[in-house]
């Protein structure tokens, strides 16, 4: 079973999706991968009429992964910046702090 579906994307625009039944012979993986990589298609994999997976391009996967991890990376950067201020506020030399941390890490 292959159906073209039109839906709304996150920005409110229309996007085209292709729904493929995973148990049908039309689910030729090579053809589907060509559509995803060359045409930028989003392909939903369905089983008994229910979406069970999605095929998307490597570029789209990377974009989604980046978007999902951006808040955590921003929080980490903020935490590291705050942690870097603590030794300076205590009057410690950052070089001495780094050496002490390295020494502790090398202990068995």
pLDDT reading at 5 higher than 50: no
Question: Contact, 99 vs 105, CB < 8 A?
Answer: no
Question: Contact, 94 vs 87, CB < 8 A?
Answer: yes
pLDDT reading at 75 higher than 90: yes
pLDDT in tens, 60-69: 888 889 998 9
pLDDT reading at 76 higher than 80: yes
Of 5-19, 45-59, 92-106, highest mean pLDDT: 92-106
Architecture of domain 2-56: 3-Layer(aba) Sandwich (3.40)
CA atoms of 75 and 53, how far apart (whole Å): 30
CA atoms of 87 and 3, how far apart (whole Å): 61
- Domain residues of the chain, as ranges? 2-56, 60-106
């Amino acid at each position: 079973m292959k159906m073209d579906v039109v839906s709304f994307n996150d920005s409110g625009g229309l996007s085209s999706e292709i729904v493929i039944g995973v148990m049908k012979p039309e689910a030729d993986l090579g053809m589907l991968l060509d559509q995803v990589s060359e045409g930028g298609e989003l392909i939903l994999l369905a089983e008994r009429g229910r979406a069970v997976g999605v095929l998307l391009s490597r570029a789209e996967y990377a974009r989604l992964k980046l978007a999902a991890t951006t808040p955590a990376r921003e929080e980490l950067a903020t935490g590291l910046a705050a942690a870097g201020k603590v030794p300076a506020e205590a009057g410690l030399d950052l070089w001495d702090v780094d050496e002490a941390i390295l020494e502790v890490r090398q202990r068995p």
